[in-house]
């Protein structure tokens, strides 16, 4: 079975092997050396001033950012499950919230952000997804972040890059916190969250708030190559192993191949009459809206050995999402679009003639 859900993604064999080594104690020079290596590589991946790792799923890092980077009022962008989650965290943490809400195929508009900031001069943090995984859309984060900083450079720009870090090069010049998670583009098991931080964010965090998610404590400890609490040692060993895999061809190759796969997949899906759901698709996944989404997904799983994700909430049964994140062998991606075309033939929608894989190959191999 090919795992093509947009998180969790498959863990490469070499990474699984690295994580099968005997458990180390975390307060040892041996582990500190491993931690140091992972930290340096993570700083390079983010391209930011500081980085911390947390033993939690991605949501824990989102909560840590709300707790430590928003003091007065948060502005959140809700164009899907994960943007909605930022709003729920803000409310649960007892902070004031201004939420901009969009249909799940529609990116945030800069004009709405401008209005919200004009009407709420006490907003001190913006929370936005780079790639909103609910519908697979790409927000104009760079443009919005630049505007927010031009209005008031003290406003913290927190970007959830859980399905963007490792997918594309993100311009971090106006971003204060960039969140990543282990189980998406970094192809690790779930359980490790990472946050890249600007110097301004580090200054605002200061000694930090909260206990487990106190970023001040973590910044202090992790600068000394250790963690406040027991580190997820196995996942950090895995992180170095995945960086080894990525480094074989380099980060630029990972980005360009991911983007090429996403573009080739989109062209292939459109060539067999399918509709791409988001108006601005992210490169992390390809989302199709279709009346028969569930039937297609079921055929792929039972007949063609491909596991894709469906939709949630009001999009349940209406969309399917194909992962593009990670070091995906291109032959697998060709098979996925071919299998979808065969499923359409099974459903009597169109005769199979190999159009999807032909289109994929034409687009992908022209670029690479
Ligand atoms: C997966 C995901 C998360 C984190 O979810 P967890 O289940 O807590 O790891 C957050 N934001 C986005 C955009 C995601 O895709």
Q: Could you read off the pLDDT of 71-93 as tens digits, one per residue?
A: 999 999 999 999 999 999 999 99
Distance from C-alpha of 38 to C-alpha of 323, rounded to nearest angstrom: 25
Residue 245 is encoded by which pair of tokens?
């895999």
Say whether pLDDT at 366 is over 90: no
* Residue whose C-alpha is closest to residue 7's, from 270, 324, 340, 279: 324
The runs of H, that is alpha helices, within 192-232 are 199-205, 215-222
pLDDT at 56: 98
pLDDT tens digit sequence for 21-70: 999 999 999 999 999 999 999 999 999 999 999 999 999 999 999 999 99
Distance 130 CA to ligand 1 centre (A): 12
What letter does residue 281 receive in the DSSP assignment? B
* Residue whose C-alpha is closest to residue 49's, from 170, 227, 202: 202
Residue 348 is encoded by which pair of tokens?
């009597």
Asked whether 161 lines ligand 1 (CB < 6 A), one says no
Mean pLDDT to the nearest integer, 330-334: 98
pLDDT tens digit sequence for 116-175: 999 999 999 999 999 999 999 999 999 999 999 999 999 999 999 999 999 999 999 999
* Residue whose C-alpha is closest to residue 125's, from 165, 102, 154, 100: 154
203 CB-near residues (< 8 Å, 6+ apart): none
pLDDT at 367: 61
Asked whether 59 lines ligand 1 (CB < 6 A), one says yes
85 is in an annotated binding site: no
- Classify 156 in phi/psi space as left (phi over 0), alpha (psi -120 to 50) or beta: beta
Which ligand 1 atom is the nearest neighbour of the CA of 131? 13
In the chain the domains, ranked by start, together with CATH numbers, are 12-247 (3.40.640.10), 251-367 (3.90.1150.10)
Q: At what angle do helices 141-151 and 110-119 cross, to 10 degrees?
A: 30
pLDDT at 364: 97
Distance 199 CA to ligand 1 centre (A): 25
Between the alpha carbon of residue 199 and those of residues 45, 113, 161, 227, the distances in Å are 16, 24, 18, 20
Distance from C-alpha of 224 to C-alpha of 202, rounded to nearest angstrom: 16
Burial class (CB in 10 A: 0-12, 13-18, 19+), 250: exposed
The verdict on whether omega for the bond into residue 8 sits within 30 degrees of 0, i.e. cis, is: yes
Percent of the chain with pLDDT over 90: 99
Long-range CB contacts (< 8 A, 24+ apart) of 206-212?
208/68, 209/67, 209/68, 210/64, 210/67, 210/68
What letter does residue 92 receive in the DSSP assignment? H
Asked whether 281 lines ligand 1 (CB < 6 A), one says no
pTM of the model: 0.97
Distance from C-alpha of 185 to C-alpha of 302, rounded to nearest angstrom: 26
The runs of H, that is alpha helices, within 47-80 are 58-69
pLDDT at 281: 98
Asked whether 82 lines ligand 1 (CB < 6 A), one says yes
């Amino acid at each position: 079975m090919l795992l093509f859900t947009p998180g969790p993604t498959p863990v490469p064999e070499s990474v699984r092997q690295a994580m099968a080594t005997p458990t180390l104690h975390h307060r040892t020079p041996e582990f500190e050396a491993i931690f140091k290596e992972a930290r340096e590589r993570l700083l390079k991946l983010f391209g930011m001033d500081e980085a911390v790792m947390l033993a939690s799923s991605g949501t824990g890092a989102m909560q840590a950012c709300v707790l430590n980077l928003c003091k007065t009022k948060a502005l959140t962008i809700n164009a899907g499950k994960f943007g909605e989650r930022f709003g729920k965290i803000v409310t649960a943490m007892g902070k004031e919230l201004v939420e901009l809400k969009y249909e799940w195929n529609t990116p945030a508009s800069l004009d709405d952000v401008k209005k919200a900031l004009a009407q709420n001069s006490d907003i001190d943090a913006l929370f936005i997804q780079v790639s909103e995984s609910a519908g697979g859309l790409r927000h104009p984060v760079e443009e919005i972040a630049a505007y927010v900083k031009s209005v008031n450079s003290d406003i913290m720009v927190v970007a959830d890059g859980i399905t963007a870090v490792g997918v594309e090069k993100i311009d971090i010049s106006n971003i204060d916190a960039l969140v990543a998670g282990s189980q998406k583009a970094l192809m690790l098991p779930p359980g490790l969250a990472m946050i890249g931080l600007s110097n301004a964010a580090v200054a605002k965090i200061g000694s930090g708030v909260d206990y487990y998610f106190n970023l001040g404590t973590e910044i202090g400890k992790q600068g000394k190559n250790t963690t406040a609490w027991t580190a997820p040692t196995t996942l950090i060993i895995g992180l170095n192993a995945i960086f080894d895999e990525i480094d074989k061809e380099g980060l630029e190759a990972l980005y360009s191949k991911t983007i090429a796969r996403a573009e080739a997949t989109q062209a292939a899906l459109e060539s067999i009459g399918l509709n791409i759901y988001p108006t601005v698709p992210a490169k992390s996944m390809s989302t199709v809206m279709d009346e028969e989404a569930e039937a297609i997904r079921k055929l792929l799983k039972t007949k063609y050995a491909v596991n894709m994700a469906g939709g949630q909430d009001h999009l349940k049964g209406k969309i399917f999402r194909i992962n593009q994140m990670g070091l995906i062998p291109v032959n697998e991606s060709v098979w996925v679009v071919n299998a979808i075309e065969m499923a359409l033939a099974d459903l009597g929608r169109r005769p199979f003639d190999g159009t999807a894989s032909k289109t994929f190959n034409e687009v992908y191999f022209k670029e690479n």
